[in-house]
Amino acid sequence: MLELTPAQIAVLKRLAVHGFQGASFPLYANAVGVRKGNCAALLGPVAGGMRLVAEPSYLVDGNLSVRVTRGARNYFVWKKKQIEVTPERRAELERFEAELNELLMPTANLE
């Protein structure tokens, strides 16, 4: 289990205020999972806060996916399950990543 400093806990509280929820990803026990909507990310503690430890992901059956290209199409894939990367899904992931990056900045507004 990760031991977090008060500053790192404050970052997680700030994320919660903005609608992010804690998420458990058993394969990544040394990271803190957060999700919002259909997207999730893994965070790791750093001095004074938290940082992304991997690229944010679109959730497939509640699991982190990878983006792959098959033929002329892009998919989010987890194990044998895949969903197509639509403009709406891509936009949701881009919004998620932008908001998360903004809130992870040390100078992020607490309101």
Q: What is the pLDDT of residue 107?
A: 60
pLDDT band for 64, please (50, 70, 90 cuts): very high
- pLDDT of 111 > 90? The answer is no
Q: Rounded to whole angstroms, how far apart are CA atoms 62 and 57?
A: 11
**Angle between helix 87-104 and helix 6-17 axes, rounded to 10 deg:** 140
Which residue, among 2, 106, 111, has the nearest Cα to 48 in the 3D structure?
106
Core vs surface per residue 28-55: b (16+ CB within 10 A) or e: eeebbbbbbebbbbbbebeeebbebeee
Q: How confident is the model at residue 29, as a pLDDT?
A: 86
110 lies in a domain? no
Residue-wise pLDDT for 71-89, tens only, equals: 999 999 999 999 999 999 9
Is residue 31 one of the residues assigned to a domain?
A: yes
Structurally, the chain folds into a number of domains equal to 1
Cα end-to-end span (Å), the chain: 29
Structural domain contains residue 109:
no
pLDDT tens string 92-110: 999 999 999 999 987 655 4
Domain that holds residue 54: 6-104
In a domain, 1, yes or no: no
44-61 pLDDT, tens digit per residue, is 999 889 999 999 999 999
